[in-house]
Chain A
């Protein structure tokens, strides 16, 4: 065996294996990811820019875009706050049932979104546990906007916490103790020491969370009952239009949703490059 064993596989694999694997990956990505995405934009603009503009100017379409942005705008900050609190609690304190709590935070990853939607109906539906109480206050959750927001929040719960917990675990709390011993208040310590240390992980979590919030279909579909112009989010509206055989409008809206996702993806890659750069920087200098 050569002395570079385990250092690089490049030299050991025959050329044809390399070509096969690279070709296979590229073909797969093209067929399953790039081609469908391209088709969306192709189909959206095929009938001309006028049809596209018409589809977007539809009242229901705009209401769907607005609702999607609203649900995202509420659930992302809430989850950011929750993620920070959960990560802080599980990494800086020790208490009974901590590891159980960390596993429970992951629950939305494991549970099918449809079941998440059904759980919300069982709790907040008119015949559900809290439904009638809420009804008496004039608050309708299920088949209304609050339900859509709740469902979005449920499926996005783990995103920020999941990103922060490993980072904060690794950092420990010595820097915070140092800050406090130097006279910093709790808030000063958080803003000046903790936040700068976790900012990239936090941003990354927020981006993943936004992407998921905008694209969520299953859970939202169950609780919204697809009232156009009222409780339809972008994915639901696209589905409804498509079922109406209104392909141009469906593709036009799809292109909007896809663009939002692509923007998130670009931001995410940029962030990853930054994080990578920083960690490399660290290794070289240590």
Chain B
């Protein structure tokens, strides 16, 4: 089912959490809302779930929330049938894993409630899906963080929600578990094809899991695009800066550019060499080399006193025989410029 918000505004007192935000998530898509804390991404998710009400406006087209082209702005949280997963799991800790997952089925009005046997089958299926068969009798306290979050996901999916909303689902877990669950979530999505919106502040997570990424900053959407698009063709300085490390050259420091514009070059987009390659090469001195990782991080101080990070593949680092204090040239192979009417 598709989900759409149109020109949504939300203010808390004098604080603007969402400013004129419009977004359409297609049916069966997995979209990540990516941004720093305070960017409004969680508020947007809660608005879609119905836990926050958008600001009212005179214009009837503003502040609309559509599920499959149907306006649901006045629907309550339970009417919207969304599966919501919280960062801190929000499992019912006085209930067993089984009862947690069965909750959404048990609270249905008598006419629509499945029989006990049906509930049992459904929960068993879901336990299998989250690879926690045999854990039905345990209590949330007895599970690890990753297991808890999987139970929370199963609980949300038990009601066969039209949309899955995940609020920093892996935010409280350690790096290894995060990585595993991320891959698991992606596989799960490919099986189920439930329209899913995931909130995260982790750019790697967003780029790896999502079909499309919505980058948010200061209550606004900065860019919507596929992971490739937002990474390789960032629409703004904020996007390039937020999606990984980047070197910023002001106009004066680079031969390639005149004027006040800034040039953004990612560490892997810089070529390091002993000799000048062309007129865009900048000379500098190696200050530090971090060798831990897939590629080495070489920190260079340019002649006009700018600190630059260059990512160099290990084998290249060896053949260059770089050392601290070495005189080198760095040459941008690719650059991103955001001053108006200027392309490189």
A69 is an interface residue with CB less than 8 A from chain B: no
CB distance from A258 to the nearest CB of B (A): 36
- The reply to whether A193 and B78 contact each other, CB–CB distance below 8 Å, is no
Task: Let me know if B92 and A175 touch, CB within 8 A.
Answer: yes
- A281 within 8 Å of B (CB atoms): yes
A177 contacts B90, C-beta separation under 8 Å: yes
CB distance from B68 to the nearest CB of A (A): 18
> Quick one: which of A118-177 are within 8 Å of B by CB?
174-175, 177
Known: A196-B94, A197-B94, A282-B141. A181 touches B84 (CB 8 A): yes
User: Within the assembled complex, what's the spacing in Å between the Cα atoms of A179 and B108?
Assistant: 12
Q: How far is the CA of A188 from the CA of B78 in the complex (A)?
A: 12
Given that A174-B90, A175-B90, A182-B156 are known contacts, is A192 also in contact with B82, CB under 8 Å in the complex?
no
Given A177-B90, A193-B92, are A184 and B78 also a contact pair (CB < 8 Å)? yes
Q: A residues near B, CB below 8 A?
A: 174-175, 177-185, 188, 192-193, 196-197, 281-282, 285-286
* B103 within 8 Å of A (CB atoms): yes
Residue in B88, B90, B108, B142 whose beta carbon sits within 8 Å of that of A183 in the complex: B108
A185 lies within 8 A of B77 (CB): no
- Near A by CB (< 8 A), chain B positions 314-344 give none
Q: How far is the CA of A183 from the CA of B105 in the complex (A)?
A: 8
Query: A175–B92 Cα gap in the complex (Å)?
Result: 7
Taking CB as reference atom, which chain A residue is nearest B103? A182
Residues of A within 8 A of B188 (CB): none
A192 to B103, CA, bound (A): 9
B interface bracket (residues with beta carbon within 8 Å of A)? 20 to 34
Query: CB distance B141 to A286 under 8 Å?
Result: yes
Q: How far is the CB of B335 from chain A (nearest CB, A)?
A: 45
Cβ of B51 < 8 Å from any Cβ of A?
yes
Binary interface encoding of chain B residues 168-197 relative to chain A, with 1 for a CB under 8 A from any of its CBs, else 0: 000000000000000000000000000000
9 A-B pairs (CB sep. < 8 Å): A174-B88, A177-B84, A178-B86, A178-B90, A178-B92, A181-B82, A182-B104, A182-B155, A184-B78
Contact of B107 among A174, A175, A183, A196 (CB under 8 A): A183
Cα distance A282–B93 in the bound complex, in angstroms: 10
Asked if A174 meets B141 with Cβ closer than 8 Å, knowing A179-B103, A192-B107, the reply is no
Q: How far is the CA of A281 from the CA of B94 in the complex (A)?
A: 13
- B159: Cβ under 8 A from any A Cβ: yes
Q: Using an 8 Å CB-CB cutoff, how does the interface string of B76-120 with A read, 1 for contact, 0 for none?
A: 111001111010101111100000000110011000000000000
**When the two chains form their complex, are residues A177 and B94 in contact, meaning their CB atoms are under 8 A apart?**
no
A183 and B141 form a contact (CB under 8 A): no
